[in-house]
Amino acid sequence: MYLSCASVCYRGYADDEVSVMLNHAPKAGFEYVDIHGPMTWSPQAIDALDAFSLRKRIEDKGLKCMGLYPPGYGGATPLQIEEHAKAIAKATKLCDILGGIHVVSTGAVSRKDHDISSVIACVKRIIELTPDNSNIKIALEPHYGNVIEQMEDYDAIFAEIDHPLIGICVDTGHFHSAKVNTIDLIKKYSNKIFDVHLKDHIGTQSVAIGHGEVDLPAIFDTLKEIGYKSTITLELEVQDVENAPKYVEEAYKLMKKLSNP
């Protein structure tokens, strides 16, 4: 398993979460990072991203980029669905330039007002736009309250789409918030797990890793059981953001321990 630190861990701690991550994550022990945040959130941001320059910044710190977080899958209108599909397809090319292996995002709309159909349409369009020789995995992440949240949402997606590049990013925090049985989902979709966003929660609130209600040892044990070899990506969205660096350091030590064979 590759232990990666996502820039979201430093959101609110500093204005530029990526720069802070590049400076601090290696001090905490991380060798791998994922780029989240404003520089990848929108189609306009994806168009403006200089992947060659960003790769140099990452490698100058002795780090390797594993992935990007582009705009969400789907949208409220056909135009938004098309814009997001093009941005995500472009993000796979940028990710390749960065030396990464995956792009990860959640749905672009809430489940309160929309169903899963816009996500399915968007992913189908992404497949059309993605070169046949691409090796960048495209993972769909759950968010609490999002159109991608429950096991049945993935059931609906994979009933329509069976493609080697399309899979799941398990988010242990959002699944906990939504009361999804994460262990059952990992086992059911063992061949479609491309990334894991490791979070700990008390209820719906993100807390420091190891200080919440998520059974992290069981998550790691299940991943080992299915032979998972890809990334475990740390995410923190804590209320006490002033403690973010300390929590990143503590998390790496626990992740290292739990990931050992």
Residue with token string 């995995």: 137
Q: What is the pLDDT of residues 216-249, one digit of tens each?
A: 999 999 999 999 999 999 999 999 999 999 999 9
Per-residue DSSP letter, 72 = P
Average pLDDT along the chain:
97
Helix or strand run (H / E) with residue 52: helix 51-60
Can you tell me the mean pLDDT for 106-130? 97
Query: CATH code at 152?
Result: 3.20.20.150
In the prediction, which pLDDT does 132 show? Answer: 86
C-beta of residue 170 within 8 angstroms of C-beta of residue 184: no
Confidence band, pLDDT 50/70/90 cuts, at residue 6: very high
Q: Strands 193-198 and 2-6: what pairing? A: unpaired
How many residues are there in the chain?
A: 261
Domain residues for the domain of 241 are 2-259
Question: What's the number of domains the chain is made of?
Answer: 1
Q: Compute the distance between CA of residue 144 and CA of residue 137 in angstroms, rounded to an integer.
A: 23
